[in-house]
Amino acid sequence: MSAAGFDIPGYELQRRLGEGGMATVFLAVQKSLDRRVAIKIMRRVTGDTTEEKRFINEGRTLARLPHPNIVGVYDIVQNEDINYIAMEFLEGGILNDRISEGLTLFDSIGIVVQLADALQFAHDHGIIHRDLKPANILFRNARTPVLTDFGIARLQSMDMTRLTQTGMMIGTPAYMSPEQAQGGSVDGRSDQYSLGVLFYEMLTKQVPFVGETPMQVAFAHVHNPPPALPLRFEFLQPIMSRMLAKDPKNRFPDLKSFAREFRNLLAESKELEQQLRFTANQTVAERLRALGFSDEQIHSGQHQKVALSIKAEPGEQLPPEMVARQLLEGSELKLEPIQERHVHYTSDRPQRRDGGVPQWLVQLGTVLITLILAMVAYKLFVQGA
Protein backbone atom coordinates (compact mmCIF):
# COMPACT_ATOMS: atom_id res chain seq x y z
CA MET A 1 0.00 0.00 0.00
CA SER A 2 1.25 3.51 -0.86
CA ALA A 3 1.86 6.43 1.50
CA ALA A 4 -1.67 7.69 0.76
CA GLY A 5 -3.34 4.44 1.79
CA PHE A 6 -4.44 3.76 -1.79
CA ASP A 7 -2.82 3.39 -5.20
CA ILE A 8 -2.93 5.56 -8.31
CA PRO A 9 -2.20 3.64 -11.52
CA GLY A 10 1.08 4.71 -13.08
CA TYR A 11 2.40 6.45 -9.96
CA GLU A 12 4.22 5.35 -6.83
CA LEU A 13 3.21 7.60 -3.93
CA GLN A 14 6.16 8.05 -1.57
CA ARG A 15 5.37 10.59 1.14
CA ARG A 16 3.04 13.39 2.10
CA LEU A 17 4.30 16.88 1.23
CA GLY A 18 1.50 19.04 2.57
CA GLU A 19 -2.19 19.56 3.07
CA GLY A 20 -4.53 22.39 2.09
CA GLY A 21 -8.16 23.26 2.43
CA MET A 22 -9.46 20.70 -0.02
CA ALA A 23 -6.49 18.57 -1.08
CA THR A 24 -3.40 16.69 0.06
CA VAL A 25 -0.14 16.76 -1.89
CA PHE A 26 2.15 13.74 -2.13
CA LEU A 27 5.59 13.21 -3.59
CA ALA A 28 5.34 10.47 -6.20
CA VAL A 29 7.30 8.85 -8.99
CA GLN A 30 5.74 8.70 -12.43
CA LYS A 31 6.72 5.15 -13.38
CA SER A 32 6.61 5.51 -17.17
CA LEU A 33 9.10 8.41 -17.19
CA ASP A 34 10.88 7.64 -13.90
CA ARG A 35 10.49 11.24 -12.75
CA ARG A 36 9.43 12.73 -9.46
CA VAL A 37 6.15 14.62 -9.46
CA ALA A 38 3.81 16.22 -6.96
CA ILE A 39 0.37 14.61 -6.88
CA LYS A 40 -2.41 16.84 -5.56
CA ILE A 41 -5.31 14.63 -4.50
CA MET A 42 -8.71 16.09 -3.74
CA ARG A 43 -10.55 14.81 -0.72
CA ARG A 44 -13.98 13.70 -1.84
CA VAL A 45 -16.85 15.62 -0.25
CA THR A 46 -20.23 14.13 -1.07
CA GLY A 47 -22.36 16.50 -3.10
CA ASP A 48 -19.86 19.40 -3.04
CA THR A 49 -19.57 20.03 -6.76
CA THR A 50 -18.30 23.61 -6.24
CA GLU A 51 -15.08 22.38 -4.61
CA GLU A 52 -14.70 19.81 -7.36
CA LYS A 53 -15.08 22.50 -10.02
CA ARG A 54 -12.46 24.65 -8.33
CA PHE A 55 -10.05 21.75 -8.17
CA ILE A 56 -10.38 20.84 -11.84
CA ASN A 57 -10.35 24.54 -12.74
CA GLU A 58 -6.92 24.84 -11.10
CA GLY A 59 -5.43 22.03 -13.17
CA ARG A 60 -6.85 23.28 -16.44
CA THR A 61 -5.79 26.84 -15.67
CA LEU A 62 -2.20 25.79 -14.99
CA ALA A 63 -2.15 23.72 -18.18
CA ARG A 64 -2.86 26.90 -20.17
CA LEU A 65 0.06 28.78 -18.61
CA PRO A 66 3.47 27.46 -19.72
CA HIS A 67 5.87 29.86 -17.99
CA PRO A 68 9.17 29.32 -16.11
CA ASN A 69 7.70 30.90 -12.96
CA ILE A 70 4.39 29.00 -13.01
CA VAL A 71 4.23 25.37 -11.89
CA GLY A 72 3.90 22.87 -14.73
CA VAL A 73 1.02 20.37 -14.96
CA TYR A 74 1.47 16.87 -16.38
CA ASP A 75 -1.91 15.21 -15.92
CA ILE A 76 -5.45 15.77 -14.60
CA VAL A 77 -7.77 12.90 -13.66
CA GLN A 78 -11.42 13.20 -12.66
CA ASN A 79 -13.58 10.14 -12.13
CA GLU A 80 -15.94 8.59 -9.61
CA ASP A 81 -13.10 7.28 -7.46
CA ILE A 82 -10.58 10.13 -7.32
CA ASN A 83 -9.66 13.60 -8.54
CA TYR A 84 -5.98 14.44 -8.81
CA ILE A 85 -3.50 16.72 -10.55
CA ALA A 86 0.02 15.54 -11.34
CA MET A 87 2.40 18.48 -11.48
CA GLU A 88 6.02 19.53 -11.31
CA PHE A 89 7.79 18.69 -8.06
CA LEU A 90 9.50 21.79 -6.65
CA GLU A 91 12.19 21.07 -4.09
CA GLY A 92 13.68 24.51 -3.47
CA GLY A 93 11.54 25.36 -0.47
CA ILE A 94 8.67 27.76 0.21
CA LEU A 95 8.61 31.56 0.43
CA ASN A 96 7.17 31.45 3.96
CA ASP A 97 10.40 29.95 5.24
CA ARG A 98 12.62 32.37 3.35
CA ILE A 99 10.76 35.37 4.75
CA SER A 100 11.13 33.98 8.28
CA GLU A 101 14.86 33.47 7.75
CA GLY A 102 15.23 36.96 6.27
CA LEU A 103 15.64 37.92 2.62
CA THR A 104 18.25 40.26 1.22
CA LEU A 105 17.16 43.24 -0.87
CA PHE A 106 18.76 41.53 -3.86
CA ASP A 107 16.67 38.38 -3.37
CA SER A 108 13.45 40.31 -2.64
CA ILE A 109 13.74 42.25 -5.89
CA GLY A 110 14.51 39.07 -7.81
CA ILE A 111 11.43 37.34 -6.45
CA VAL A 112 9.03 40.21 -7.05
CA VAL A 113 10.08 40.87 -10.66
CA GLN A 114 9.90 37.18 -11.58
CA LEU A 115 6.45 36.87 -10.01
CA ALA A 116 5.37 40.02 -11.82
CA ASP A 117 6.41 38.41 -15.10
CA ALA A 118 4.47 35.23 -14.27
CA LEU A 119 1.36 37.14 -13.23
CA GLN A 120 1.48 39.33 -16.32
CA PHE A 121 1.69 36.17 -18.43
CA ALA A 122 -1.42 34.84 -16.68
CA HIS A 123 -3.21 38.17 -17.11
CA ASP A 124 -2.34 38.21 -20.82
CA HIS A 125 -4.16 34.87 -21.01
CA GLY A 126 -7.15 36.33 -19.18
CA ILE A 127 -6.47 34.64 -15.83
CA ILE A 128 -6.44 36.36 -12.42
CA HIS A 129 -4.76 34.45 -9.56
CA ARG A 130 -6.66 36.06 -6.62
CA ASP A 131 -4.72 34.25 -3.88
CA LEU A 132 -1.12 35.43 -4.01
CA LYS A 133 0.64 34.69 -0.70
CA PRO A 134 3.94 33.17 0.55
CA ALA A 135 2.40 29.72 1.00
CA ASN A 136 1.58 29.61 -2.72
CA ILE A 137 5.11 30.41 -3.88
CA LEU A 138 7.62 27.58 -4.05
CA PHE A 139 11.14 27.50 -5.47
CA ARG A 140 12.60 25.40 -8.24
CA ASN A 141 16.09 26.32 -7.06
CA ALA A 142 17.75 29.05 -5.00
CA ARG A 143 16.81 31.87 -7.39
CA THR A 144 13.63 30.78 -9.21
CA PRO A 145 10.26 31.37 -7.49
CA VAL A 146 7.32 29.45 -8.91
CA LEU A 147 3.69 30.48 -8.61
CA THR A 148 1.35 27.66 -7.57
CA ASP A 149 -2.21 27.09 -6.34
CA PHE A 150 -4.58 28.56 -8.89
CA GLY A 151 -7.51 27.00 -7.03
CA ILE A 152 -9.54 30.22 -6.88
CA ALA A 153 -8.12 31.75 -10.05
CA ARG A 154 -10.68 32.78 -12.63
CA LEU A 155 -10.94 34.04 -16.17
CA GLN A 156 -11.42 37.81 -16.32
CA SER A 157 -14.47 37.23 -18.50
CA MET A 158 -15.96 34.65 -16.11
CA ASP A 159 -19.02 35.56 -14.07
CA MET A 160 -17.90 35.35 -10.45
CA THR A 161 -21.20 33.81 -9.41
CA ARG A 162 -20.19 30.64 -11.25
CA LEU A 163 -17.77 29.69 -8.49
CA THR A 164 -18.43 32.26 -5.75
CA GLN A 165 -21.41 34.16 -4.48
CA THR A 166 -21.58 37.84 -5.39
CA GLY A 167 -20.30 39.99 -2.52
CA MET A 168 -18.50 37.07 -0.91
CA MET A 169 -14.95 37.74 0.26
CA ILE A 170 -12.65 35.08 -1.15
CA GLY A 171 -8.88 34.87 -0.80
CA THR A 172 -6.44 35.34 2.07
CA PRO A 173 -7.27 38.53 4.05
CA ALA A 174 -3.68 39.62 4.73
CA TYR A 175 -2.91 39.78 0.99
CA MET A 176 -6.19 40.70 -0.68
CA SER A 177 -6.87 43.97 -2.46
CA PRO A 178 -9.49 46.45 -1.17
CA GLU A 179 -11.86 45.57 -4.02
CA GLN A 180 -11.40 41.86 -3.30
CA ALA A 181 -11.99 42.45 0.42
CA GLN A 182 -15.30 44.09 -0.44
CA GLY A 183 -16.36 41.23 -2.69
CA GLY A 184 -16.20 43.40 -5.80
CA SER A 185 -15.02 42.59 -9.29
CA VAL A 186 -11.28 42.21 -9.77
CA ASP A 187 -8.78 42.37 -12.61
CA GLY A 188 -5.00 42.12 -12.92
CA ARG A 189 -4.54 45.21 -10.73
CA SER A 190 -5.87 43.21 -7.79
CA ASP A 191 -3.01 40.72 -8.18
CA GLN A 192 -0.67 43.72 -8.44
CA TYR A 193 -1.87 44.95 -5.03
CA SER A 194 -1.31 41.49 -3.53
CA LEU A 195 2.18 41.45 -5.03
CA GLY A 196 2.80 44.81 -3.36
CA VAL A 197 1.77 43.36 0.01
CA LEU A 198 4.09 40.42 -0.61
CA PHE A 199 6.96 42.73 -1.57
CA TYR A 200 6.40 44.80 1.58
CA GLU A 201 6.53 41.64 3.68
CA MET A 202 9.71 40.41 2.00
CA LEU A 203 11.42 43.71 2.80
CA THR A 204 10.14 44.13 6.39
CA LYS A 205 9.19 40.57 7.53
CA GLN A 206 5.66 41.78 8.31
CA VAL A 207 2.51 42.45 6.31
CA PRO A 208 1.33 46.08 6.07
CA PHE A 209 -2.17 45.44 7.45
CA VAL A 210 -3.03 43.38 10.52
CA GLY A 211 -6.03 42.78 12.74
CA GLU A 212 -7.42 40.37 15.30
CA THR A 213 -10.01 39.00 12.88
CA PRO A 214 -10.17 38.56 9.10
CA MET A 215 -12.81 41.30 8.94
CA GLN A 216 -10.53 43.74 10.76
CA VAL A 217 -7.75 42.99 8.29
CA ALA A 218 -10.13 43.47 5.37
CA PHE A 219 -11.30 46.78 6.86
CA ALA A 220 -7.68 47.95 7.12
CA HIS A 221 -7.05 47.16 3.46
CA VAL A 222 -10.05 49.24 2.48
CA HIS A 223 -9.65 52.23 4.81
CA ASN A 224 -6.17 52.47 6.39
CA PRO A 225 -3.15 53.99 4.63
CA PRO A 226 -0.26 51.55 4.23
CA PRO A 227 2.70 52.14 6.57
CA ALA A 228 5.80 53.65 5.02
CA LEU A 229 8.80 51.50 4.25
CA PRO A 230 11.82 51.73 6.58
CA LEU A 231 14.20 54.57 5.72
CA ARG A 232 16.76 52.23 4.18
CA PHE A 233 14.18 51.34 1.52
CA GLU A 234 12.69 54.81 1.01
CA PHE A 235 13.88 54.92 -2.62
CA LEU A 236 11.33 52.14 -3.26
CA GLN A 237 8.46 54.06 -1.65
CA PRO A 238 7.05 55.58 -4.88
CA ILE A 239 6.78 52.11 -6.40
CA MET A 240 5.29 50.60 -3.24
CA SER A 241 2.76 53.41 -2.76
CA ARG A 242 1.46 52.96 -6.26
CA MET A 243 1.16 49.18 -5.97
CA LEU A 244 -0.76 49.56 -2.69
CA ALA A 245 -3.09 52.33 -3.87
CA LYS A 246 -6.66 51.81 -2.64
CA ASP A 247 -8.19 52.71 -5.99
CA PRO A 248 -7.13 50.33 -8.79
CA LYS A 249 -7.04 53.32 -11.16
CA ASN A 250 -4.12 54.74 -9.16
CA ARG A 251 -2.02 51.58 -9.50
CA PHE A 252 0.12 50.69 -12.48
CA PRO A 253 -2.06 49.90 -15.51
CA ASP A 254 -0.52 46.42 -15.58
CA LEU A 255 2.54 44.57 -14.35
CA LYS A 256 4.43 45.33 -17.54
CA SER A 257 4.21 49.00 -16.59
CA PHE A 258 5.28 48.14 -13.05
CA ALA A 259 8.34 46.24 -14.28
CA ARG A 260 9.25 49.06 -16.67
CA GLU A 261 8.99 51.72 -13.95
CA PHE A 262 10.85 49.52 -11.48
CA ARG A 263 13.56 48.89 -14.06
CA ASN A 264 14.02 52.62 -14.67
CA LEU A 265 14.22 53.32 -10.93
CA LEU A 266 16.80 50.60 -10.40
CA ALA A 267 18.86 51.77 -13.37
CA GLU A 268 19.02 55.32 -12.01
CA SER A 269 19.26 54.75 -8.25
CA LYS A 270 22.75 55.36 -6.87
CA GLU A 271 21.50 54.32 -3.44
CA LEU A 272 20.40 50.95 -4.76
CA GLU A 273 23.69 50.57 -6.59
CA GLN A 274 25.52 51.05 -3.30
CA GLN A 275 23.25 48.68 -1.35
CA LEU A 276 23.52 45.91 -3.92
CA ARG A 277 27.26 46.46 -4.40
CA PHE A 278 27.28 46.17 -8.16
CA THR A 279 30.67 46.24 -9.81
CA ALA A 280 31.53 49.33 -11.82
CA ASN A 281 32.07 47.43 -15.06
CA GLN A 282 28.57 45.89 -15.13
CA THR A 283 26.16 47.34 -17.67
CA VAL A 284 22.62 48.27 -16.64
CA ALA A 285 21.26 45.25 -18.53
CA GLU A 286 23.69 42.91 -16.76
CA ARG A 287 22.66 44.29 -13.38
CA LEU A 288 18.96 43.93 -14.14
CA ARG A 289 19.45 40.41 -15.43
CA ALA A 290 21.36 39.48 -12.27
CA LEU A 291 18.45 40.80 -10.21
CA GLY A 292 16.01 38.51 -12.02
CA PHE A 293 14.53 40.72 -14.74
CA SER A 294 13.62 38.83 -17.90
CA ASP A 295 14.90 40.05 -21.26
CA GLU A 296 11.38 41.23 -22.09
CA GLN A 297 11.22 43.25 -18.87
CA ILE A 298 14.67 44.72 -19.51
CA HIS A 299 13.90 45.85 -23.05
CA SER A 300 10.17 46.60 -22.76
CA GLY A 301 9.39 50.11 -23.98
CA GLN A 302 12.89 50.67 -25.33
CA HIS A 303 13.14 51.56 -28.99
CA GLN A 304 16.30 51.14 -30.96
CA LYS A 305 17.89 53.68 -33.28
CA VAL A 306 21.09 53.77 -35.27
CA ALA A 307 23.87 55.71 -33.60
CA LEU A 308 27.38 56.45 -34.78
CA SER A 309 30.16 55.99 -32.28
CA ILE A 310 32.43 58.78 -33.52
CA LYS A 311 34.83 61.19 -31.91
CA ALA A 312 33.48 64.70 -31.40
CA GLU A 313 33.23 67.37 -28.77
CA PRO A 314 29.81 67.96 -27.15
CA GLY A 315 27.70 70.07 -29.50
CA GLU A 316 30.21 69.84 -32.36
CA GLN A 317 28.69 69.74 -35.86
CA LEU A 318 30.55 67.20 -37.98
CA PRO A 319 30.45 67.45 -41.79
CA PRO A 320 29.69 64.25 -43.72
CA GLU A 321 33.24 63.90 -45.06
CA MET A 322 34.68 63.82 -41.51
CA VAL A 323 32.13 61.21 -40.47
CA ALA A 324 33.06 59.14 -43.54
CA ARG A 325 36.77 59.50 -42.76
CA GLN A 326 36.28 58.23 -39.20
CA LEU A 327 34.28 55.30 -40.52
CA LEU A 328 37.03 54.51 -43.03
CA GLU A 329 39.54 54.62 -40.19
CA GLY A 330 37.72 51.88 -38.32
CA SER A 331 34.96 53.46 -36.20
CA GLU A 332 31.96 51.18 -35.78
CA LEU A 333 28.41 51.61 -36.93
CA LYS A 334 26.24 49.97 -34.29
CA LEU A 335 22.80 49.80 -32.67
CA GLU A 336 22.40 51.24 -29.20
CA PRO A 337 19.37 51.60 -26.87
CA ILE A 338 17.68 54.96 -27.28
CA GLN A 339 18.52 56.10 -23.77
CA GLU A 340 22.27 55.82 -24.39
CA ARG A 341 23.95 59.14 -25.10
CA HIS A 342 25.90 59.53 -28.34
CA VAL A 343 27.12 62.44 -30.43
CA HIS A 344 25.23 62.42 -33.71
CA TYR A 345 25.99 64.04 -37.05
CA THR A 346 23.49 66.84 -37.60
CA SER A 347 22.86 68.99 -40.66
CA ASP A 348 21.60 72.56 -41.00
CA ARG A 349 18.47 71.35 -42.73
CA PRO A 350 15.32 71.45 -40.59
CA GLN A 351 14.01 68.08 -39.45
CA ARG A 352 10.81 66.79 -40.98
CA ARG A 353 7.79 67.17 -38.70
CA ASP A 354 5.13 65.92 -41.07
CA GLY A 355 5.55 62.20 -40.32
CA GLY A 356 7.82 61.63 -43.35
CA VAL A 357 11.21 59.92 -43.46
CA PRO A 358 12.82 59.93 -39.98
CA GLN A 359 15.75 62.33 -39.60
CA TRP A 360 18.12 59.58 -38.43
CA LEU A 361 17.43 57.64 -41.62
CA VAL A 362 18.21 60.70 -43.74
CA GLN A 363 21.47 61.18 -41.83
CA LEU A 364 22.40 57.52 -42.19
CA GLY A 365 21.73 57.66 -45.93
CA THR A 366 23.94 60.73 -46.25
CA VAL A 367 26.77 59.00 -44.40
CA LEU A 368 26.51 55.83 -46.46
CA ILE A 369 26.42 57.71 -49.78
CA THR A 370 29.43 59.77 -48.71
CA LEU A 371 31.25 56.60 -47.70
CA ILE A 372 30.53 54.93 -51.05
CA LEU A 373 31.67 58.01 -52.99
CA ALA A 374 34.86 58.20 -50.92
CA MET A 375 35.65 54.56 -51.62
CA VAL A 376 35.00 54.99 -55.37
CA ALA A 377 37.19 58.11 -55.48
CA TYR A 378 39.96 56.31 -53.63
CA LYS A 379 39.81 53.37 -56.03
CA LEU A 380 39.97 55.67 -59.08
CA PHE A 381 42.89 57.52 -57.53
CA VAL A 382 44.81 54.27 -57.01
CA GLN A 383 44.10 53.11 -60.56
CA GLY A 384 45.18 56.48 -61.98
CA ALA A 385 48.40 56.35 -60.02
* Whole-angstrom distance, CA of residue 280 vs CA of residue 272: 13
CA angle 295, 301, 307 (to 5 degrees): 90
Cβ neighbours of residue 144 under 8 Å, at least 6 residues apart? 68, 69, 92, 114
- Please indicate whether residue 295 is annotated as part of the active site: no
Active-site choice (7, 124, 131, 149): 131
Residue 94 DSSP one-character state: B
Burial, 350: exposed, middle or buried (Cβ in 10 Å; 0-12, 13-18, 19+)?
Answer: exposed
User: Of 265, 261, 264, 259, which is closest to residue 294 (Cα–Cα)?
Assistant: 259
Distances (CA, A) of 62 to 124, 129, 272, 278: 14, 11, 35, 36
Supply the DSSP symbol for 341.
Answer: -
Answer for the pair 148, 138: CB distance below 8 angstroms, yes or no.
yes
Which uninterrupted H or E stretch holds 27?
Answer: strand 23-30
Separation of alpha carbons 266 and 109, rounded Å: 10
Kindly list the catalytic residues: 131
